[in-house]
Amino acid sequence: MKKFLRLLLICSSGLLFIVSCSPVPTKEYSKQTKKDRQFTPVFNDTFQKALYEVEISYGSKNISGVAIIKKMEENQTFRTVFMSETGLKYFDFEYFQNDSMVVHYMMDAMNRKKIIRALTTDLGLILKRNPDQKLLTYFLSENPSDGLMIKEKQKGRNYFFSEDHGNQPSKICHRASFSPSTNIEINYNPERIPSKIVFMHGIIIFKMELKLITE
């Protein structure tokens, strides 16, 4: 029995590792020099604040609510609060320009390491503004319509896909060992504010969707 359990553990760990390392389609991209290249954030310099409808699904369960994302003028940070429709706050995070962040509040029922790590990583990817250039590698697609890919080596690997240089990313992938992969798809409105953001997690049936309500 113990052997079986050990085998099961090894197999499931192996499966998780394989899935977490599921490939990001990078073969068709060729490496570019960093000269004249720069990272374009999801929320650009003109962004001030936005209110989103939120739906988080896990298996057959789902939680809905609203989220506010606001650029704070004082520290040039991003503050984001998720809450239920009735106003009950789920969590409150603040992201700094140097990629660090602070958890101001996490609802007691959600105050678990795995949940905090998943949420802070997901939101950190869309709120990233000034990544360390030393950690970035730029790639240009051989197919012009596929645009630019930026690879960042930090806490695993992050891939930011843009249709063109200078455009905000339309897709972000996160890969790290022994951690479920994350894929994020982003649509923008004509003012280049993200109008729909969908987070999907590897083998875990966990999906988070943000839809723009007002700016």
Partner 1 sequence: MIIQLSSIYKKTILLDLLLLLLLPFAVIGQPEGYKLASDPGFITKKINEVSASTNSINSQFIQEKNLSFIKEKIISKGILLYQKPDKLRLEYAEPFTYILIMNGGRMMTDNGDKKSEYDLKSNKMFSEINNLIISSVKGNILDNPDFKSAIYENAEIIYINLTPLNKELNKYIKTIGLYISKKDYNVSELQITEQSDDYTLIRFTNKVINEEIPPASFNLQ
Token pair recorded at residue 155: 């806490």
Mask 24-63, x = binds partner 1 (CB under 8 A)?
A: -------------------------x-x-x-xx-xx-xxx
Residue 143 and residue 120: Cα distance in Å, rounded?
Answer: 33
Contacts 24+ apart (CB under 8 A), 98-106: 98/130, 99/124, 99/128, 99/130, 99/131, 99/132, 99/154, 104/79
DSSP-assigned beta bridge partners for residue 53: 66, 211
Site for partner 1 in 139-178 (CB under 8 A): none
Whose Cβ is closer to partner 1: residue 38's or residue 111's?
Answer: 111
Question: If binding is defined by CB under 8 A, does position 103 make contact with partner 1?
Answer: no
Whose Cβ is closer to partner 1: residue 52's or residue 161's?
Answer: 52
Mask 68-87, x = binds partner 1 (CB under 8 A)?
A: x-x-x------x-x-xxxxx
CA distances from 165 to 5, 111, 147, 170, 191 (A): 50, 39, 7, 12, 18
Sites of contact with partner 1 (CB under 8 A): 49, 51, 53, 55-56, 58-59, 61-64, 66, 68, 70, 72, 79, 81, 83-90, 92, 104-105, 107-110, 112, 114-115, 118, 204-206, 213-214
